[in-house]
Amino acid sequence: MKNDLLADRTEDINKMYGLVIEEGSEIIKGIKLINDLGDLKGYTNIGYADSYFEYWLLDPGISSKRLTAALIARTSKKKIKNILVVGCGRGGELILLNQLTGANITGIDISDDNLEYAKNLIKENEKEDHIKVFKAYAEELPFPSESFSCVYSCEAAFHFNDKLSFINEAYRVLKKQGSFIVGDITTKKELSELQHNILQDYKNMLCANTFFTKEDYIHAVKEIFGKQPRIMDITDKNIKHLARGSSHLLKIFDIIGKLPAFENLIKTHMKTKGMSIDVFLDNINITRLSYEHSVVEYIMIDCVK
């Protein structure tokens, strides 16, 4: 059965983001296309859902694609000519952004494996004329000044060595009136020893470099763009659901994980994924603790040049 949760969300999106997105615009046409996009191919983001049920029990591709839709809906323009995606990963988001906006997309990443996968995905979807990917660093964007209508990054900035340089470079390559849009995991300004230890485990799990606080982002963007950015905390739309699901998974493993047949099945599956069952369970527990102890948050932030 076709999932039509996102079929008519214009009014909701306008209320949620304080934007006026007209019916019939490219963004709204694209959001309605989400229902027809099948799997999570090339996707790695944490997702966005109004409820725990929607996050875990419906098509898992929906929540991931909704996060992309929610982020790009924050653009200042109804029509976007071109978008630079910084930290494009395996390319699924590039395909969707093109479908959502009709814009030409340029993606950069530093992983050769990600770029190779993305190129194959772009070719498979016959998008070579509209989507290009390059190997490049966020802190040294290899593009002329004022090249893009939008600079977009989702769940990549915590990997960057220098987020201030990234924001500076984003500002440089943006055209006037262009939008800077980021979805990122952040932490709190002051942490207890327990919270700090959990954060360190969380960073190791994600291979993260540094986490900004919300205040760090606001200060940095305001300094570079010369104006106050918009910011929205959506922790309750993703990290909360992920943590609750992690708690349930841990309980399930505690009850039936000791059964020999189940344990052998999981171990075989984990080996095919390149991860041991112990590491898998540790990651689930770290995810749970990071939310329960208020260590991490998830924000969307944007600013217009």
User: Residues 189-241: pLDDT tens digits?
Assistant: 899 999 999 999 999 988 898 899 999 999 999 999 999 999 999 999 999 98
Q: Which single residue is written with the structure tokens 């969380």?
A: 202
Which structure tokens are listed for 131?
Answer: 């989507």
Task: For 152, list phi and psi in degrees, rounded to 5.
Answer: -130, 140
* 148: pLDDT strictly greater than 70: yes
Distance from C-alpha of 68 to C-alpha of 150, rounded to nearest angstrom: 14
Q: What is the pTM of this model?
A: 0.81
Selected residue with higher pLDDT from 35 and 251: 251
* 68: pLDDT strictly greater than 60: yes
Q: Which single residue is written with the structure tokens 């976007």?
A: 80
Question: Could you tell me the fold of the domain covering 10-193+207-236+295-304?
Answer: Rossmann fold (3.40.50)
Which structure tokens are listed for 30?
Answer: 């694209």
Q: So what's the pLDDT on residue 262?
A: 57
Is the CB of residue 69 less than 8 Å from the CB of residue 35? no
* 12: pLDDT strictly greater than 60: no
Is the CB of residue 139 less than 8 Å from the CB of residue 162? yes
Q: Which of these ranges, 42-46, 127-131, 295-299, has the smallest mean pLDDT?
A: 42-46
C-alpha separations of 243 from 74, 94, 266, 296 in Å: 26, 27, 21, 11
* 13: pLDDT strictly greater than 90: no
Distance from C-alpha of 97 to C-alpha of 127, rounded to nearest angstrom: 12
Q: Give the mean model confidence (pLDDT) for residues 3-32.
A: 41
DSSP for the chain reads ----TTTT-HHHHHHHHT----TTSHHHHHHHHGGG----TT-------SSHHHHHHS-HHHHHHHHHHHHHTT-S-SS-SEEEEES-TTSHHHHHHHHHH--EEEEEES-HHHHHHHHHHHHHTT-TTTEEEEE-BTTB--S-SS-EEEEEEES-GGG-S-HHHHHHHHHHHEEEEEEEEEEEEEE-SS--HHHHHHHHHHHHHHT-----BHHHHHHHHHHHHSSPPEEEE-GGGTHHHHHHHHHHHHHHHHHHTTSHHHHHHHHHHHHHTT--HHHHHHHHHHHHHHHHTT-EEEEEEEEE-
For residue 54, what pLDDT band results from cuts at 50, 70 and 90?
confident
Distance from C-alpha of 206 to C-alpha of 204, rounded to nearest angstrom: 5
pLDDT digit string (tens) for 87-142? 998 899 999 999 889 999 999 999 998 899 999 999 998 999 999 999 999 999 99
Q: So what's the pLDDT on residue 76?
A: 66
Selected residue with higher pLDDT from 20 and 262: 262
For residue 166, what pLDDT band results from cuts at 50, 70 and 90?
very high
Parse the chain into domains and list their residue ranges.
Answer: 10-193+207-236+295-304, 240-290
Q: Give the mean model confidence (pLDDT) for residues 161-169.
A: 95
Which structure tokens are listed for 194?
Answer: 């327990």
C-alpha separations of 20 from 28, 101, 103, 272, 305 in Å: 11, 15, 19, 47, 19
pLDDT digit string (tens) for 265-283? 666 655 555 556 677 778 8
Is the CB of residue 44 less than 8 Å from the CB of residue 183? no
- Provide the mean pLDDT of the chain: 81
